[in-house]
Amino acid sequence: MNKIVEVKNFKMAFNGKTVIKDLSFEVNQGEIFGLLGSNGSGKTTTIRTLLGLYIPTGGELLINGKKFNPGDVKVGYLPEERGLYKKETVIDTMVYFGKLKGLKDPRGWSIKYLERVGLSDKLNEKTEKLSTGQQQKVQLGICIMDDPELLILDEPTKGFDPVNRKLLMNIIDELHAKGATIIMITHYMDEVERLCDRAILLKDGVAHAYGTIKEIKKKFGGKSLDEIFVEVYGGEDE
Partner 1 sequence: MNKIGTVFKFETIRQLKKPSFWIMLLLLPLGIAVMMGLSALNSTSIEDSITNTNLGDKKIGLTDEPGLLAQVQTGFEQVESESVGREKVHNGELDVYYYIDQDFANTHRVRIYDRAEETGLMNFYSIPFANLLKSSVYNKLSADDIALVENTVEYETVDLDKNGEQVSILGQAIIPIVILSIFYVLICVFGNRLTMALVEEKENRISEMIFTAVSAKNLVIGKILSLIVLGFIQIAVFSIPVIAVAIIYRDNPMVAPILANIDWDPIRILGNICLLLVSYFLFAGACTLVGSLMPTARDASQYIGIVMVGVVLPLFFINNLISSSSVNAVTYILSYFPLSSPIALMLRNAFGNLPTWELVLGIAELGLASAFVLRMTVKSFQKNAINFSVVKPKLGIRKSWKKA
Q: Distance between CA atoms of 208 and 201, rounded to whole angstroms?
A: 5
Nearer to partner 1, 45 or 189 (CB): 45
Nearer to partner 1, 87 or 214 (CB): 87
Q: Distance between CA atoms of 171 and 144, rounded to whole angstroms?
A: 9
In sequence order, what DSSP letters do the residues of 178-216 get, joined into one string?
A: TT-EEEEE-S-HHHHHHH-SEEEEEETTEEEEEEEHHHH
Q: 10 Å Cβ neighbour count for 37?
A: 25
How far apart, in Å, do the first and last CA atoms of the chain sit? 36
Nearer to partner 1, 5 or 78 (CB): 78
HSE-CB for 218 with a 13 A CA cutoff: 6
Nearer to partner 1, 114 or 143 (CB): 143
Least gap, CB of 36 to partner 1 (angstroms): 20
Least gap, CB of 135 to partner 1 (angstroms): 11
Nearer to partner 1, 33 or 77 (CB): 77
Binding residues for partner 1, rule: CB under 8 A, are: 48, 51-53, 69-71, 75-79, 81-88, 92, 96-97, 99-101, 139, 142-143
- Residues sharing a CB contact under 8 Å with residue 72, sequence separation 6 or more, in sequence order: 63, 64, 66
Least gap, CB of 62 to partner 1 (angstroms): 16
Least gap, CB of 70 to partner 1 (angstroms): 5
Cα distances (angstroms) measured from residue 68 to each of 50, 143, 174: 7, 16, 25
Nearer to partner 1, 33 or 233 (CB): 33
Least gap, CB of 117 to partner 1 (angstroms): 17
DSSP state of 26: E
Least gap, CB of 15 to partner 1 (angstroms): 8
